[in-house]
Amino acid sequence: MSHFATNNDPDLVRTVKKADGTSFDLYFPLELNATDYLRRILLSIQYMLRPIYSRVCALPGIRKMKHERCEYEEDEIDLHYLLKHMSQNQQAYLLTIGMQPDRFKDYIKFLANARNFLAHDNQVSAEVYMEKCFHHGLELATASHSA
């Protein structure tokens, strides 16, 4: 049985017109898929890491992440730049979080790969990342007392 809308569901189907004048129907799923859940897991990790980013940025010698001329504040930094900041300031994060260096590096690398998977719409199934991202996020939250 399909979990997608049919032509009888006007609220769940949209006709998309292409530049060449042709069109196609786009059906919206009635339930979330693995990619949706992975996106939610990574978004939760982003929100959990933001206060840690602020604590680390308050340490002497640690600068906020920049993009062009703007510094990212806690409430606006996304997961890509959070993980980049964590990689660039590993010692400060290790002191703040209290995690083993090898485990920390593995988590950051894995989470960055999962985030890139979503951002670049790879053909690999999101299920490959879901369980480990959930586990890594939970362990980071527990280690940083954000859980």
| Closest-CA residue to 117 (of 140, 106, 103, 133) | 133
Q: How far apart are CA 8 and CA 25, in angstroms?
A: 12
The set of residues, in sequence order, having a beta carbon less than 8 Å from that of 11 and lying 6+ positions away, is: 5
Q: How far apart are CA 117 and CA 104, in angstroms?
A: 20
pLDDT, tens only, 99-136:
899 999 999 999 999 999 888 876 677 888 888 898 88
Question: Across 21-65, where does the E strand assignment appear?
Answer: 23-27
* % of the chain at pLDDT higher than 90: 46
The secondary structure element, H or E, covering residue 16 is: strand 13-17
Burial string for 107-117 (b: 16+ CB within 10 Å, else e) reads bbeebbbbbeb
Position 7 pLDDT exceeds 70: no
The secondary structure element, H or E, covering residue 71 is: strand 70-71
Residue 1 pLDDT? 38
Higher pLDDT among residues 115 and 30, named by residue: 115
The answer to which of 33-37, 44-48, 64-68, 115-119 has the lowest mean pLDDT is: 33-37
